[in-house]
Every structure is written in structure tokens, then in C-alpha cells.
Amino acid sequence: MAIDPREDDTIVALSTPPGLGGIAVVRLSGTESVSITNKLLPSNKRISAKSHGKALVTTISDPSTGDTIDEVVVTFFRAQHSYTTEDLVEISCHGGEYVQSQILYLSTNAGARIAEPGEFTKRAFLGGRIDLSQAEAVADLISAKVKSAHRFSILQMQGALKERTSSLRSKIVELSALIEAELDFSDDEITPTPKNVIAEKIDQVLIGIQQVSGNYGYGKIIRTGAIVPIIGKPNAGKSSLLNALLAEERAIVTETPGTTTDIIECPVDIEGFLVRLIDTAGIRSTSESVEKLGVDKTFEQIRSADLILWLIDKSSPIEEDDLNIYAELKNRNYIVLESKSDLSRHKSFNPERHDIKPDLAISSQTGDGLHELSSDIATKLRSLDAGEDALITNARQAAAFSKSEKALKRALSSTLDGAGNEFISVDIRDAMIYLGEITGEITTDDVLNEIFSRFCIGK
Amino acid sequence: MTDSYDIIVVGAGHAGIEAALSSARMGNSVAIITMDTNAIGRMSCNPAIGGLAKGHLVREIDALGGEMGKAADATGIQFKMLNRSKGRAVWSPRCQSDKYAYADYMDAVVNSEENITLIGDSVIGVSVLSKKVEGVYTTNRGTIAAKAVILTCGTFLNGLMHTGLKSTSGGRVGEEKSGGLTENLTELGFKTGRLKTGTPPRLKKETINFDLTEPQYGDEEPRAFSFSTKNFNPPNIPAYITHTNEKTHRIIESGLDKSPMFTGLIKGIGPRYCPSIEDKIIRFSDKPSHQLFLEIEGIGRGDIYVNGFSTSLPEDVQTEAIRTVPGLEEVELVRPGYAVEYDYFPPHQLYHTMETKLVKSLYFAGQINGTSGYEEAAAQGLVAGINAALKLLGKDKFHTDRAESYIGVLVDDLVSKGTQEPYRMFTSRAEYRILLRHDNADIRLSEKGYNFGLASKKVYDRAKYKKSLLEESVSALRATHLSVKKINERLGHIISRPADKPSSLLQLLRRPEVKLLDILPIFEITSSALAKKIQSDPESAEQIELEVKYEGYMKRQNEQVARFRKMEHKNIPPTFDYSAIRSLSSEGREKLSTMKPESLGHASRISGITPSDLSLVAIALRAYDTRV
Ligand SMILES: Cc1cc2nc3c(=O)[nH]c(=O)nc-3n(C[C@H](O)[C@H](O)[C@H](O)COP(=O)(O)OP(=O)(O)OC[C@H]3O[C@@H](n4cnc5c(N)ncnc54)[C@H](O)[C@@H]3O)c2cc1C
Ligand SMILES: Nc1nc2c(ncn2[C@@H]2O[C@H](COP(=O)(O)OP(=O)(O)OP(=O)(O)O)[C@@H](O)[C@H]2O)c(=O)[nH]1
Ligand SMILES: [Mg+2]
């Protein structure tokens, strides 16, 4: 079955150009846009389908883990009063692409579909909001975009993702043939496959799918750069390190702790990786409100980072603040840097006692250790590659994989529960359709072909 | 010529019969023109009706008011519910038929239908005036006029039969081919292709030693195909199972140089699901043995059908090979197996009504569309007959979609995907399989059948009753709650783990180990009338249980259906001009222009149509609607 632009489902897309910094707006349009958005919001701060045009400050989090993604402003526009003439929700979030694509990704998990190019405008037209000449311009836009998307898809076709997805999908087709053959032919003709074998095969495909989707993060690093915040307590030398790595004075450096209060993001090429270095506000417990806001943002950066550079200042004691930061880094990907290596060691600088192991000593002033740091960053980023050639590079593919994974999990549990093949097949088919969305392959005939090539069938 | 009818049906096979009966019963004067008026409703191949997925088709034909199910019930010699070892959602009825009795039954029904005139002649062309059909040309009677024509020519168009390297022209053994019609239609612009199918030898019953075979009977409690069959008490005559062996296979291999298939004599494409024995031996050379079923073709008749041994090898090779099979050591053939090649018309040239896109009021149904099987043919015949009648009555067309019936899947597959090999129905072709069960065919379709004047009021009333009993029972089960104590007291011996919280009967029934029968006594306390109704109606009881146990899956399928239907309801007018959409891909434009999809959903199932093509069509459609 071809992918259909299900005209009535809820779509989601980024409506400001993706990029660094600033505010980004993610839009949802369709009957489910409110309910989908609400799945990502805390139960006490949700939007109501009655509050047309009102902005609500709230937080988006991942419903499966509970992790907060971003503090956002959500606005609801009622059908007929919105651009698309459908229920429309705008989520204004902070700039980072990570945050944006997380919101897209979570929305698709919650039931939205990534919009086709020009689809919001198309709906505006279908709803009678814009006229035919405008719509024709949109049609041209769609075809132009599709052309470039097509070029991309050709590249991708040759690439590993397509191959890997195809091979996973053909495993599902085989699986499906085993399941369907039993339903379509009598026991005289076909020996049934034991349920544990089916379960095992589902599990194998699941593992493959998880491997590929596990690499979504790395795919994003390759395509849009790695998010690498520099953190540490005030005056640790973060801004100095940023400047040193950029070889340019971008951030203000002073002797006063607490100089940097907002984040600065600067792209830099490190051994072929696009690294988006982020200078952050020093972390300390503070009651001062501007600084507190900065600190909060820093914590947010830590959560969405691909790699964290943590500075501990050799010329000052290890303090409560350091330990708080250290606690925050648990289970994250980070490098511990002993900064200001040109200075002498403070007598209470005793990281070992707190089980902190510096990876490298550096000095932004003398350049000591900076080369090693570059290659350590590259090594760490490379290690994020799960060894998969197949790279999921956009949220749409990630959503397809995630839906396919969910369907297979359901199929697996039905199988283990002893459900009949006709029910297992409902989910197996779904899994196949979702992967087919990436490779553009169709379903039913493939399964029958597989059955005919495998089984001696027919009387 | 003075002869004139509302509708002419060409052919009296399974498609022709349903087409003629339905359109005649809907009030039209119908002429069946067929080459041999003594060959009505013949089974060319297997003496059986139904089977996996095909059984569903028969039940649906019956619910709509067709004849096939009734005929099968009246003439079946053993009935079996297939897939009984699997879930109820995929059970499918089959019977073996007395094929002579079946044909006699159909002959009688057709002859007693007063709106039908039976004419023995061969149709060699259709007469067309300004893209509308006017009648047909025949060999002996010249032109016969009609307002609509339904072609159901089966395997007869330029039919060529092969046994070994010898080929004879003919549509079926003992019957002549039909010549000229293909050429006439090609001239009118129709595209044609060539397909092939085969049949096994028939054996002389008295030369078989049945002691060396194993009898296989039908069900002890047979189920009828027809929703109107009552007091069903058919015979249960066994088939006999035997097997091929290495020796059989060696002999077949030695004859391959005289096989019309392997020497390339046959050009038409055959069905993979119905391979010849030579095919099976080559493609699955590791299988040392294949199962054969010896099936009686008619009570008191001397011919036996060898299910599993379809072949077009030379007669002497067939005989030698089959004599290696236990029980068949001294067997004699009534008639050798053969393959037949014939012309068909790729069905993308049709609308969902089975009307051709090229010529108005001309319909194709059955094997002429590239399908194979009696049930597939009958289903199409019914759709064509109903639609031809509705059109003459000036009423809306009859359309049943993929989410409503296997017939819908069949028609939609044919018109949107076309077919390269003979098309047969499989349950895996139906996306919404667990909703399209044989047991609820009446609930799904009898209302339509009744409104056409085809299905009886009894059947329709019963379907309405079943549906409301189902709905009522499900909600009553949901509303009946039991305390923890009650559950453990009354169901403790059944449930796998004791209850720790109160639940409704519905929740309890959802447990795999709990059956509806187990909870009926409890249900009886609160809803005694309802429980009694269920008790006295095993058919409904089965449905209720199924509906409850698999509610989750059913719900998901229903959601899928809702999504599917939204696209289906976006109609595209037949006059829609794709060349006016500037940005359409050239492949998309070409495919859409030739296929003329009837809805956006239909367009999405055409291979090669991309999502962006669809978006563009959606936009243009809206513009079209606002302009018109
Ligand atoms: C040798 C053989 C093997 C087969 N094997 C299988 C199989 O293995 N499995 C399976 O599922 N199906 C098989 N079939 C197919 C099955 O028989 C058909 O699918 C089914 O009968 C088709 O029904 P129909 O109504 O379309 O055509 P038919 O039953 O073929 O009827 C065609 C009718 O049209 C008439 N007719 C044709 N042309 C003209 C004309 N120009 N003028 C007047 N009358 C005309 C004929 O006289 C006949 O009455 C086989 C058929 C044959 C012949
Ligand atoms: N000797 C020496 N001094 C350094 C080095 N790095 C930073 N400093 C000094 O340390 C002080 C703080 O440096 P910054 O880079 O502003 O520190 P920061 O971590 O950004 O501080 P905040 O933004 O206030 O949190 C400045 O006076 C720097 O000159 C270094 O490698 N060696
Ligand atoms: Mg700073």
C-alpha cells in the first residue's frame, strides 16, 4: 500500500526554519492536536480545547521516561479560526535542534504524523482559507521540495539505511509468510511453525530495529552536529576554553565569577565532526533570579547534550557545587577536564577523594592539552556510533522505526500469550507497513510471493 | 433483428449464472447467450465449493442474495469447516460437490426464472454506438440488442488445450473455444493478455483399490453455506488420501521433454498456488512425496478427481506415473489432465462496478478478468449483475469496499492492481480480516442484498437480530460486576489465578481460560432473558465470545477502517482532467489518466503513485469541486 496523505489525521512540523538559537515554533494541526499535545504536558498544566488563543507556559516531557525536554509556551487555535481551519496548536520552544526534534518525535509517538512539505498550506487551502492561485503556488512548492527531497531519497536509497531497513523488512515479510501461510492453507499443505520459533524470529527483528533506532542520536550528530556544552562552577574557565577552541574571542572572560549568564552556542569543526560548543552559566546554588535562570538553562543543556565538557578548576577547592554537578552527570557522556593546568594546585583540590577522575589537564592560557582534548572529543563522539552503518537522520524515519518497534513488541506479547496467527498478523503487518514507509515498498503481494517461494502449496 | 433484451449475459458459467439471476430478479428481461445450453454451471476442475477465503466469498454471495451457497448446500456430498484448529476468525467453510447435481440444480434455477431467456449461440462481437453498448453479434442469430451486456466467457476466449505436445483448440474438454470476440474487443481498444490453468486426470473409480488409501470424512456437524438453509442434513462421503513417491517423481521427470510447459509451448502464465505436479517436483525437489486426494465427482458416477495431480504431460506419462501411487497401481484414466491457455482482459480496464471504462454498459465478470475459481467468478458476476440492473433502474451503483467484504477486496484488487497471474482469493489479501468473518457475512451484507430485492426478509431480519443481540450482550456483560468473593466462589475452578479485585463479566470473559458457557449461569442471575437468548443461539454465542475476547484487536482494526474510509469517500469524477495539474509527476499523470481511480483511496493503491501526487490531486479536486 502506498503511503497515503491521510487527509484527516493530525500533522506536526517545525514552522520556523530549523537552526541555532532563538525561539522555534512547532505546530500541530488536526482533530487530535490538543489531545496529542496534552500527552506531553504535566497533568496540571494542560491546554483546554476551549481556551482559544490563550498562551500557556508549561513544560514538555517525554511521557515514557518523565524526562523534561523544555519549558514551552503553548497556544491553541480553534478550528475555523486557525490558519489551517483545523484545531491548531503552536508550541514555542527554545532554539536547540535537539529540543525541536524531540518535540517532533514525541508528538509522532503520541499520534501525529510529520507533515508533507507544504501540507499546512494545503490544509489551509482545503479549508478555504487561501485561494486557488495561492494554492497553485503551493503545489509548485510541493513539487519543488519533493524534487530536492527526491534527490535526497536517491542518495539515501543507495545508502545503508535503506538497505538495512529493507533487510529488516524482508525478515518481517518472511515472518509474515510463516504466519499467513498457516491461515491461507490447510494443515494438509503446511506444517505449522511453533509459536516459540515465531517469537524468536520476532525478537530477532526487534533487536535489529532497536540497533538501528539506537543510532538515531549518532545520525543526528552527523547531520546537524553534536551538542557539547562546557559546564562547571563559576570561574572554572569555561568561556576561556570556548574561546581557545574557537581560536577567537567569542565569550566574555572576567575574573568575576558568574560572568556568563546566558548560553552561547558556537559551531566548530573538530576532526570532521560539526561540534556545537555551548558556553554556559557557571553552576552554583544561588538565589539571584537572573543567575538562577541561567543555571536552570545549563541543567537543561546537560540533559540534551551529546557530550559534556566538565571543568574543575585546579586552582580552587573542590566544593559542594562541584559535587552537585558531578551527581548530575551520572549516566551521561562526559569528559572531566582539570582546567588552568598552568596554575599551581589548590591545597583542597582533591578530586580523587570524591572519586572524580580527571581525563585530561588543560590550560586555555598556554594551550596545554588542547590538542589532546580535540582528539578526545572526536573519540568520544565516534564511540556513540553503535556500529551501525544505517543512520536514521530525521524524525520521520525515527518515528517509523519507533512505531514499527511498538507493533513488533505487541506482536511478541500476543505470540507469547498464545494468540492466534490472525491476531499476531495485525501487528506484524503494521510493523511491515511502517518500515515500508522508509523504503517505499508495498505489502500484500510480497507476502504471497514469499509464501509461494517457500512452501509447496496447492493441490 | 427484433430480438431485444434489457441485459444480455454471455456465458452460463459461475459468473454468468449469478449475473443473470440477480439482474433478472431485479426486474430486467435477461438473455443468457451461451455456446452450449446444456452446460450450465459446470465445474471445470475441482468438484468442490468454498475453501479458505473462497468460503468467505460464498457466504457473502449468499448474504447478498446470490445462488451459489444454496446450490452448494443442496448438492454437497461432504462439508468441512477448514482451519478449525485455528481461531474462529479464520474458519472457512468448504464442501465437496456432486458436480453433476450442482450443474443440474443451476440448470433448473436458471430455466425456471421467468425473466431469463436461454439462447444457444456463440457471441463474436459487441455492437457499440458512440461508446455505449447496443447489443452483441452472434454466429447464428446475427445481432441481438440489449441495453447492457455482461461478458462472462471464462477460459473460452481463443482457448487452447494442451496434453503433452499435442494441442487442441477448445475452452474446456469437449467444448469449443470462442473465437473472434477477443479480436473484436481489441479493435475497440481493449488490452488483452494470455493466461493458463490446468486440471488433473479423471480416474475410473472401479480401477482403484481404495483399501490402500485413507478415507477422509467431512465434519460430523456440518455447517451450511447459505444463511437460509434449514434442516441441513447432507451426506458425508469421504475423499481418499494417498501419496506420490520417488518413483512417481522419476517418471514425471523423464517426461519433461514432452511437457508443453517446460518446452515453452505454453506462453500463458499459470497460477503459482495451483501448481502442476511437474512444477511441484521441480521446484520442491527435496520433497520425497506429495499428498493426493481422490474425490468423487458425483454420487453413482464412475469418475474420480485426483486433487493434487494437475498436469499437462502426455497421456502415457500421466498413466505410467499415476500407477506408481498406492491404490492406483492398475488405474485407468477416464480422461487425461490438461492445461488450457486463454485470453483475458486485464481488469484495470474496469470500474468497481465491473463496467468497462471504454464502453458504457458493457461489463466483464469472472475468469475473463484474470481470476480463477468458481467463487471468485460468481462474486464478480453478482457485482456486475446488480450494477447493470441498478444502472437501468437509474439507481446508485453498488459498491462494497475492502473493509466490508472479501468481495470488496476482490474487486478492488482487480481494478486497482490488475493481475499478472490468475488471481485467487486469500485471507491475507484482506487487511481487515478479523472483521470480515464468514459468520458475520449476513450482518455485513444482507441489508444491501435485501434492498436490492435479492436477499430474503428472513435472512435480513435474522442478521438484524444477531447484530442487536451481540451489541446488547456485550454491553450487559460489561455492566455486570462481580465481587472478588463471588468470582472466586463461582469461577475458582476455572480461572488460572484467583481474583484480587472485582471485575465485570466482560473482563472475566477476556481471560483466555474463561468461556462464555462458564459465565452464562452467573449472567443468567442478572440478565435472565438475555442469557436464555444466547443459550438457545450457539451461532450468536460464538460471535459474542469472539467479539469480547478480541475486543482490543477489533478496536484497532475498526480504527484502521475509519482511516481507510475517509480516503475512500473522497470521490474523483471520471471526467477529472489530470493534465491540468501542472506539478504532477509524469508517471503519476499517466497512471492516473489510464486507471481513472474512483476515489483518493483507490488512487493511493495504484502502484507508482506517490504521496505528493496524491496531495496534488487532493488540491486540484478541491478546486474542481468549488468550480463545479
Ligand atoms: C482446465 C481448467 C482448469 C481449471 N483449474 C482451476 C483450478 O485449479 N482452480 C481454480 O480455482 N479454478 C480452476 N479453473 C477455473 C474455474 O473453472 C473458473 O475460474 C470458473 O469456472 C470461471 O467461471 P466463469 O463463469 O468466469 O467461466 P466458465 O465457468 O468458464 O464459463 C464460461 C461460459 O461462457 C460461455 N462462453 C464463452 N465464450 C462465449 C461466447 N463467445 N459466446 C457464448 N458463450 C460463451 C461458455 O460456454 C461457458 O458457459 C479451471 C478451469 C479449467 C477450464
Ligand atoms: N591562568 C589561567 N587562568 C585562566 C585559565 N582559564 C581561565 N582563566 C581565568 O579564570 C577567570 C575566569 O575565566 P572565565 O573563562 O571567564 O571563566 P568562566 O567559567 O566562564 O566563568 P563564569 O562565566 O563567571 O562562570 C578569568 O580571569 C580567566 O582569565 C587558564 O587556563 N589559566
Ligand atoms: Mg563564562
The ranges assigned to domains in chain A are 5-130, 136-215+391-440, 224-382
pLDDT at res. B531: 92
What topology does CATH give the domain A5-130? Gyrase A; domain 2 (3.30.1360)
Final residue of a structural domain among B451, B473, B490: B451
- For A203, the enclosing helix (H) or strand (E) is helix A195-214
The CATH number of residue B473's host domain is 1.10.10.1800
CATH of A224-382, one of 3.20.20.70, 2.80.10.50, 3.40.50.300, 3.30.70.2190: 3.40.50.300
In the structure grid, which three cell numbers stand for residue A166, read together?
A: 529493507
Q: Is-contact B589 B579, C-beta < 8 A?
A: yes
pLDDT of the residue at A21: 47
Q: Which CATH superfamily is domain A136-215+391-440 in?
A: tRNA modification GTPase MnmE domain 2 (1.20.120.430)
> What does the alpha-carbon distance between residue B255 and residue B252 come to, in Å, rounded to a whole number?
5
What is the nearest CA distance from A407 to chain B, expressed in angstroms? 12
Q: Are residues B492 and B547 in the same domain?
A: yes
pLDDT in tens, A410-446: 999 999 988 889 999 989 988 988 887 776 665 555 6
A155-185: b (≥16 Cβ within 10 Å) or e: ebeeeebbebbbebbbbbbbbbbbbbbbbbb
Contacts of A457 in chain B (CB under 8 A): 272-273, 275
CA angle, B124 then B130 then B132, to 5°: 60
CATH number assigned to the domain comprising residue B162: 3.50.50.60
pLDDT tens per residue across span B228-254: 999 999 999 999 999 999 999 999 999
Grid cell of A351 as nine digits: 578530586
Residue A295 confidence (pLDDT): 78
Residues in A closer than 8 angstroms to B607, CB to CB, are 2, 442
Q: How many CB pairs under 8 A join A and B?
A: 153
Region A300-326: mean pLDDT is 91
- Asked if A281 contacts A210 with a C-beta cutoff of 8 angstroms, the reply is no
Q: What is the pLDDT of residues B506-562, one digit of tens each?
A: 999 988 888 998 999 888 888 889 999 999 999 999 999 999 988 888 888 888 788
Enumerate residues 6+ apart whose C-beta is below 8 A from A146: A117, B610, B612
Pairwise CA distance, residues A279 & A239, whole Å: 6
B406 and B479 within one domain: no
Alpha carbon distance B457, B337 (integer Å): 45
A268 has a pLDDT exceeding 90: no
> How many distinct structural domains can be found in chain B?
4
SS3 of A79-138: CCCCCCCCCEEEEEEECCHHHHHHHHHHHHHCCCEECCCCHHHHHHHHCCCCCHHHHHHH
Query: Best of B94, B107, B155, B199 to mutate for ligand 1, by most ligand atoms within 8 A of CB?
Result: B155
- Cα separation, A173 vs B525, whole angstroms: 49
Task: Give the residue among B138, B174, B131, B132 at the shortest CA–CA distance from B156.
Answer: B174
Shared domain for B577 and B526, answered yes or no, is no
Residue B267 sits in the same domain as residue B330: yes
- B615 closest CB neighbour out of A119, A185, A459: A119
User: What type of residue is A389?
Assistant: D
A240, A243, A311, A313: residue to mutate for ligand 2 pocket, most atoms within 8 A of CB? A240
Q: Is residue B80 part of a domain?
A: yes
Residue B223 maps to a domain: yes
Contacting residues of A for B434, CB less than 8 Å apart: 422-423, 426
**Rounded-to-integer distance, Cα B334 and Cα A366, Å:** 103
Q: Is the pLDDT of residue A76 over 80?
A: yes
Q: Are residues B423 and B532 in the same domain?
A: no
Mean pLDDT within B210-221: 96
Question: How many whole angstroms separate alpha carbon A230 and alpha carbon A301?
Answer: 9
- Enter the C-alpha cell of residue A100: 525541536
Decide which of B289, B307, B338 is a domain's last residue. B338
Please check whether residues B256 and B290 belong to one and the same domain.
yes
Domain shared by B13 and B139, yes or no: yes
Supply φ then ψ for residue B237, to 5 degrees: -95, 130
Do B427 and B471 lie in one domain? The reply is no
Which one of B559, B592, B617 terminates a domain?
Answer: B559
| Residue B513 within any structural domain of the chain | yes
Helix axes A195-214, A395-416, angle to 10 degrees: 160
Range of the domain at B519: 457-559
Assess: ipTM above 0.85.
no
Cβ neighbours for A131, distance < 8 A, ≥ 6 positions apart: A125
User: Cβ distance B543 to B534 under 8 Å?
Assistant: no
- Assigned domain for B177 exists: yes
**In the structure grid, which three cell numbers stand for residue A239, read together?**
568561556
Rg of chain A's alpha carbons, rounded to an integer? 26
Same domain, B254 and B284: yes
Closest CA–CA distance from residue B336 to any residue of chain A (Å): 17
Residues on chain B touching A448 (C-beta within 8 angstroms): 426, 428-429
Query: What is the SS3 assignment for A73?
Result: strand
On whether both B113 and B208 belong to a single domain, the answer is no
**Predicted confidence (pLDDT) per residue in A98-133, tens digit:** 777 788 888 988 888 888 766 787 777 777 776 655
Same domain for B186 and B40, yes or no, is yes
User: pLDDT tens across A203-217, in order?
Assistant: 999 989 988 887 667
A433: nearest CA partner in chain B: B431
**Rounded distance between C-alpha atoms, residue B528 and residue B509, angstroms:** 18
CA A411 to chain centre: 25
Residue B17 lies in a domain: yes
User: Which of the two residues, A156 and B370, has the higher pLDDT score?
Assistant: B370
B394 and B420 co-located in one domain: yes
Residue B440 carries which DSSP code? G
Pocket of ligand 1 (CB under 6 A): B 10-16, 33-36, 39, 44-45, 122-123, 152-156, 172, 178, 181, 197-199, 274, 340, 366-367, 372-374, 377
Handedness of CA B106, B107, B112, B117 (dihedral sign): positive
